[in-house]
Amino acid sequence: MSNLFKFILNLLPRPILIKLSYLARPILAFAMRGNNYVDPIDGKKFKRFLPYGYENPRENVLAPATLSLERHRLLWLYLKNETDFFTATLKVLHFAPEQAFYKRFRELSNLEYVTTDLFSPLADIKADICDLPMKNNTYDVIFCNHVLEHIPDDTKAMQELYRVLKPGGWGIFQIPQDLSRETTFEDDSITDKKERTKIFGQYDHVRIYGRDYFDKLRGVGFDVEEVNYTNTMTKETIEKYRLAKGEIIPLVKK
């Protein structure tokens, strides 16, 4: 199954994958129901999760009903347990909205919820993250997760995120990160898609972020808290929700 998923992920463009996934989800969720693992986003239980990954697929990580990955389930738990996101009146900007969240966030009556992306069919506003059409100090909350690793000029993108966030506002900017690396690695000379996938983990990634990612965010003005949320959980909880132990949530504030 891992090889099949790897083939499909590399063959089809992301917008097409998103549309096809709407058809596949009910079938997968029914076929894989069980009691071993729980997706906290919808509360459903499964005998196992699906594999996911471009170069080296990870086993048992993709929840069949919501299509959430480890990072989505971790973020959901954090938002639910540690923030007022689901109750406070907030103006929210969500970049490249994930399917696991999109409909649920859209239906929250406390949010003024706006989505943006250059290509996603779920985006309200088609916009370049490096040249946003929004006014200064507009949003209480910004989600920009697994986006910046795709952006050649990520400094400009971070500056734009800072500009449109309200003073006192907060955001979460998750990225694929190698915490064993002190500094971020990028090499524009690598242009072959297969080679990029091998080195960066995905053909459309332009860098591998290291621990210096947090300081780069601080460099554009953000206050940054490096939240190791799984550190507050038992091994049994981490396994039940199939989380990535030690994954850091980058919580930014202005």
One domain for residues 233 and 123: yes
pTM for this predicted structure: 0.87
Q: What is the full per-residue pLDDT of the chain (254 aa) written as tens digits?
A: 444 444 444 554 545 544 555 556 666 766 768 789 999 999 999 999 988 876 677 889 989 899 899 999 999 999 999 999 999 999 999 999 998 999 999 999 999 999 999 988 889 999 999 999 999 999 999 999 999 999 999 999 999 999 999 999 999 999 999 999 999 988 888 888 788 878 787 778 899 999 999 999 999 999 999 999 999 999 999 999 999 999 999 999 99
Strands 165-172 and 111-117 come out as: unpaired
Which residues, listed in sequence order, are joined to residue 112 by a DSSP beta bridge?
Answer: 91
- The CA distance from 68 to 79, in Å, is 15
Boundary (domain end) residue, out of 70, 86, 119: 70
pLDDT of the residue at 50: 84
One domain for residues 115 and 216: yes
One domain for residues 125 and 219: yes
Boundary (domain end) residue, out of 32, 49, 70: 70
- b/e code 59-87 from CB counts within 10 Å (16+ = b): eebbbbbbbbbbbbbbbbbbbeeeeebee
**Where in the sequence is the domain holding 148, given as residue range(s)?**
75-253
One domain for residues 62 and 125: no
- The CA distance from 195 to 191, in Å, is 7
Instruction: Kindly tell me the burial class for residue 117, based on how many C-beta atoms sit within 10 Å of its own C-beta (0-12, 13-18, 19 or more).
Output: buried
One domain for residues 43 and 89: no
pLDDT of the residue at 51: 84
CATH of residue 152's domain is 3.40.50.150
pLDDT of the residue at 52: 81
- The CA distance from 160 to 174, in Å, is 16
Boundary (domain end) residue, out of 45, 70, 95: 70
- The CA distance from 33 to 66, in Å, is 13
One domain for residues 199 and 242: yes
One domain for residues 6 and 117: no
One domain for residues 233 and 207: yes
One domain for residues 80 and 38: no
One domain for residues 131 and 61: no
Q: Are 51 and 61 in contact (CB under 8 A)?
A: yes
One domain for residues 126 and 61: no
Q: Which of 35, 5, 3 is nearest to 20 (CA)?
A: 5
pLDDT of the residue at 15: 52
Domain count, the chain: 2
Q: 226 — alpha (psi -120 to 50), left (phi > 0) or beta? A: beta
One domain for residues 29 and 83: no
